[in-house]
């Protein structure tokens, strides 16, 4: 791995090799570019990754979940090239975690098993047109219980990755009025994508174009009582409990973007000549490249430390570390892609070359799954002991 200042265990080295081998066998820079240009999802690549066991990892239906260290390893590798597939894998890992933690035996058999094997793919429906950061208070999607126990869901979700082709959506809807806590009264539902009343419309996005983002409209969508995931009213709380993993996984894709962009920039700096020298010999380019390297490697240490600590058991230290890792990786990605564009001059603009894709894709992890501003708020309060930000 170019630039890495951190050693992997033999198991993680083996896992990295499996991801790289699968990427090498199925995809190519041209193919990644085509999916980005055409805004199409690479189903064949996803299926190959699933067949290699990279969705399920160490997880089984009955007890064991995938380790955080394994998840971030796969996601870093995908982020470095097949970024959109990496983003969709973040969603699958989230589904695995939610079903593992809150699923009943029947739900695990029906939904988790196929997810782990890759025969099913899921979308996660939380954000809404009027609310992302403050989605719990703003949530306008309602689920109301009919006399026979069936839930009828009406509302709209925004930016839902892969929603038109997913097998099912894990979706949050309000089931009782906003309470004082602001986060209770929301429930989580497992909804087969082909349930009548669901309409999806793709959104034309600047980045992550190899994974469709969709508007999802729900009109009288009937969901049986047994498809409530976790306790009624606790859905948003349950999602918050998985946020450490989400932050780590987002950080891993961002780290991959930083590494991929830096590697491209250094190759270019060595190969391109000006004034009879490789442009990489100019100090004006070397210093910002080293700054990007420093950010990338700092993010790597925070991320893998956070993942290892998470695997050993959660706690406030892990919460802070996962926040620091996410911030650090998002900044590494934006810094590396910015200097990458500068190093490549006009060639950075060429749509057949990957730098402009990294540059666009890097923006996602400045605001997802949680905005960098909110992470700063949380770190200020929890880590620095400052008053709650207003």
Ligand X SMILES: Cc1cc2nc3c(=O)[nH]c(=O)nc-3n(C[C@H](O)[C@H](O)[C@H](O)COP(=O)(O)OP(=O)(O)OC[C@H]3O[C@@H](n4cnc5c(N)ncnc54)[C@H](O)[C@@H]3O)c2cc1C
CA 130 to chain centre: 21
Identify which range of 254-262, 273-281, 309-317, 371-379 contacts ligand X by CB under 6 A: 371-379
Q: Is 228 helix (H, G, I), strand (E, B) or coil?
A: strand
Position closest to ligand X via CB = 132
Q: Does the footprint of ligand X cover residue 371 (CB under 6 A)?
A: yes
Q: What angle do CA 369, 373, 375 make, to 5 degrees?
A: 60
Per the CB < 8 A criterion, the answer to whether 209 and 36 are in contact is yes
Q: Is 159 in the site for ligand X (CB under 6 A)?
A: yes
User: DSSP string covering 159-176, please?
Assistant: EEETTTT-SEEEEEEE-S
Stretch that binds ligand X, among 12-20, 173-181, 293-301, 370-378 (CB under 6 A): 370-378
133 part of the interface to ligand X, by CB under 6 A: yes
Residue 143 binds ligand X, judged by CB under 6 A: no
Rule CB under 6 A: say whether 82 interacts with ligand X.
no
Comparing CB distances to ligand X, the nearer of 242 and 263 is 242
Find the shortest distance in angstroms from Cβ 110 to ligand X. 22
* Region binding ligand X by CB under 6 A among candidate stretches 5-13, 68-76, 158-166, 279-287: 158-166
Q: Which of 86, 161, 210, 250 binds ligand X (CB under 6 A)?
A: 161
Please state the φ and ψ torsions of residue 203, each to the nearest 5 degrees.
-110, 135
Token pair belonging to 340:
């990458």
Which residue, 125 or 280, has its beta carbon nearer to ligand X? 125
CA distances from 171 to 127, 188, 197, 244 (A): 10, 6, 14, 19
Please tell me whether residue 124 binds ligand X under the rule CB under 6 A. yes
Cα–Cα distance, 22 to 222 (Å, whole number): 39
**Between 125 and 260, whose beta carbon lies closer to ligand X?**
125
Query: Can residue 132 be called a binding residue for ligand X (CB under 6 A)?
Result: yes
List the interface residues with ligand X, window 193-212 (CB under 6 A).
205, 208
Decide: is 254 part of the binding site for ligand X (CB under 6 A): no
Distance of CA 370 to the CA centre of its chain: 11
Angle CA 92–98–100, to nearest 5: 100
Query: CB within 8 A of 331, min separation 6: which ones?
Result: 295, 299, 372
Query: Closer to ligand X at the Cβ: 158 or 295?
Result: 158
The 269-298 contact track toward ligand X, x by CB under 6 A, reads ------------------------------
293, two tokens: 């390297």
Cβ(131)–Cβ(139) under 8 Å? yes
The verdict on 84 binding ligand X (CB under 6 A) reads no
Q: Is 218 in the site for ligand X (CB under 6 A)?
A: no
Reference 301, options 331, 321, 330; nearest CA is 321
Q: Fill in the per-residue mask, 304 to 323: x = in contact with ligand X (CB under 6 A), - = not in contact.
A: --------------------
Q: Measured from the CB atom, is 128 or 297 closer to ligand X?
A: 128
Task: Yes or no: say if 151 and 189 are a contact pair by the CB < 8 Å rule.
Answer: yes
**For residues 212 and 319, which CB has a smaller minimum distance to ligand X in the complex?**
212
Q: How far apart are CA 201 and CA 381, in angstroms?
A: 39
Beta strand 186-192 pairing with 198-203: unpaired
Q: Which residue number, 13 or 389, has a Cβ lying nearer to ligand X?
A: 389
Of the candidate spans 139-147, 156-164, 227-235, 329-337, the one that interacts with ligand X by CB under 6 A turns out to be 156-164
Positions that interact with ligand X (CB under 6 A): 91, 124-127, 132-133, 159-161, 205, 208, 213, 364, 367-369, 371, 373-374, 377, 389
């Amino acid at each position: 791995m170019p630039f890495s200042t951190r050693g992997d265990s033999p198991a993680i080295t083996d896992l990295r090799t499996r991801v790289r081998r699968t990427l090498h066998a199925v995809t190519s820079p041209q193919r990644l570019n085509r999916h980005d240009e055409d805004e199409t999802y690479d189903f064949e690549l996803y299926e190959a990754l699933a067949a290699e066991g990279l969705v399920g990892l160490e997880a089984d239906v009955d007890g064991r979940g995938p380790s955080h260290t394994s998840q971030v390893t796969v996601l870093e590798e995908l982020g470095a090239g097949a970024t959109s597939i990496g983003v969709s894998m973040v969603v699958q890992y989230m589904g695995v975690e939610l079903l593992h933690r809150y699923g009943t035996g029947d739900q695990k058999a029906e939904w988790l098993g196929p997810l782990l094997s890759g025969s099913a793919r899921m979308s996660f429906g939380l954000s809404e047109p009027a609310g992302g950061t403050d989605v719990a208070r703003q949530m306008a999607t309602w689920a109301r219980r009919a006399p026979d126990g069936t839930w009828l869901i009406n509302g709209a979700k925004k930016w839902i990755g892969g929603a038109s082709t997913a097998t099912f959506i894990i979706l949050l809807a309000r089931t009782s009025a906003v309470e004082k806590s602001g986060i209770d009264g929301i429930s989580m539902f497992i909804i087969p994508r082909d349930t009548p009343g669901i309409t999806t419309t793709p959104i034309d996005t600047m980045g992550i174009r190899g994974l469709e983002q969709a508007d999802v409209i729900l009109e009288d969508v009937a969901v049986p009582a047994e498809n409530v995931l976790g306790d009624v009213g606790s859905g948003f709380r349950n999602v918050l409990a998985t946020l450490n993993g989400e932050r780590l996984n987002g950080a891993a894709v961002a780290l991959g973007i930083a590494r991929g962009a830096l590697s491209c920039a250094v190759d270019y700096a060595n190969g391109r000549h000006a004034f009879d020298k490789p442009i990489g010999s100019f100090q004006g380019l070397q210093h910002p490249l080293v700054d990007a390297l420093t950010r990338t490697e700092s993010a790597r240490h925070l991320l893998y430390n956070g993942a290892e600590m998470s695997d050993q058991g959660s706690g406030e230290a892990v919460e802070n570390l996962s926040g620091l890792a996410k911030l650090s990786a998002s900044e590494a990605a934006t810094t590396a892609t910015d200097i990458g564009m500068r190093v490549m001059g006009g060639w950075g603009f060429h749509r057949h070359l990957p730098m402009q894709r990294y540059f666009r894709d890097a923006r996602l992890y400045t605001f997802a799954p949680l905005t960098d501003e909110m992470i700063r708020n949380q770190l200020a309060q929890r880590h620095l002991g400052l008053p709650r930000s207003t």
